[in-house]
Copies of this chain bind each other. A is one copy, B any other.
Amino acid sequence: MSDMNSILVVGSVALDTVKTSSGRSVEALGGSATYFALAASYFASVQLVAVVGEDFPRSHRDTLAKRRVDLSGLQAAKGKTFRWSGKYDKDGGVATTLTTHLNVFKTFRPTLSQAQRKTEVVFLANIDPDLQAEVLAQMHKPTIVACDTMNYWIDSKPAALKKLLAKVDVFFSNDEEAKKLTGAANALQAAEVLGDWGPSVVVIKKGEHGALMKVREKFYVFPAYPLARIKDPTGAGDTFAGGFMGYLAASRAHNDVWHLKRAMAYGTTLASFNVEDFSTRNIEDLDRVAIDERFHDLADRMTIPRADDPLKSRRAVSA
């Protein structure tokens, strides 16, 4: 398994209960590692390391297996599966957490197999930064190390997080978290500070406002795919990261702006599919044709025509 086409993801697999203005889903498949794995599965082979309880439905396991996600690292522990419930305001933007029951996730200490240790691309989804570091310490020289985090760890373990970032190549964060972690006034300044802490690539996710990427000293900016109706934004960030990292692993590229910009667009594309339905429903059964169609549609919508491009010449002829 030691090739760039394989990604290891360590994070949560959860049962989510979500209420949005479009409706409600109860104990549906969720968790950061789940969304990431499904999105990345369209580009690369994914090894998932996580823990569930004895109550985890067979059907959810099948959903991941159908996408050929390697579940040998999905431990089934005594107890109940991690459960989260939340609701969204009518803009679909801000999540309010109603309940969090860590359950078996509370004592999760991932130990990687020999095969897993050799994976060249690793994504440390938002778990305790000390755990993220433990996982990373088990790896044999990965080519690309990426991670995400969340407000909870920024508040409780900022030092551990900062220490981890020194060893990370690609850091994903949403804009509020990035500003909080760095104390910066805006997302761009936050990305500058985060870059100074280690990652050569910093991706700041802004939900409906798109995302920006800092590669070395330069910023690249991307809008979100325009969707007038969003059913459920849960998991959009992890789905974005899955599309981004999946494409990067498949392209065997690292620190290459040409590929990194395409990775941003694939992340945007996968996230846009995800928010069109509850839970993981809309990213369970995609294919590369549908994904590439939206990728090109996004590119078409946001491309700024140059005076010397072919379309202009065509216009000049037909005018």
Contacts and interface: CB of A to CB of B under 8 A. Distances in A.
Given A219-B228, A303-B304, 9 more contacts: A186-B230, A187-B208, A209-B209, A210-B223, A212-B226, A221-B302, A222-B302, A264-B304, A298-B304
Interface string A208-234: 111010000011111111111110000
Interface of A: 21, 90-92, 185-189, 192, 206, 208-210, 212, 218-230, 258, 261-262, 264-265, 295-296, 298-299, 301-306, 311-312, 315
Contacts of A311: 258
**Interface-centre pick from A90, A187, A302 (highest chain B CB count, 10 A):** A302
Given A206-B209, A209-B209, A305 B258 contact: yes
Nearest to A264: B304
A70 B245 CA distance: 54
B210 A258 contact: no
A221 B221 contact: no
A86 B90 CA distance: 31
B261 A304 contact: yes
A21 to B, nearest CB: 7
Contacts of A261: 303-305
Contact of A91 (B186, B224, B303, B305): B186
B221 A223 contact: yes
A189 B228 CA distance: 5
Number of copies: 2
B301 A220 contact: yes
Contacts of A189: 228-229
Nearest to A212: B226
Contacts of A90: 185
A289 B223 CA distance: 26
A9 B262 CA distance: 41
29 contacts: A90-B185, A92-B186, A186-B228, A187-B208, A188-B228, A189-B228, A192-B228, A206-B209, A210-B210, A210-B223, A212-B226, A218-B301, A219-B226, A219-B228, A220-B226, A220-B302, A221-B223, A221-B224, A221-B225, A221-B301, A222-B223, A222-B304, A261-B304, A261-B305, A262-B305, A265-B304, A296-B306, A298-B304, A303-B304
A77 B94 CA distance: 49
A229 B299 CA distance: 28
Nearest to A214: B226
Contacts of A258: 305, 311-312, 315
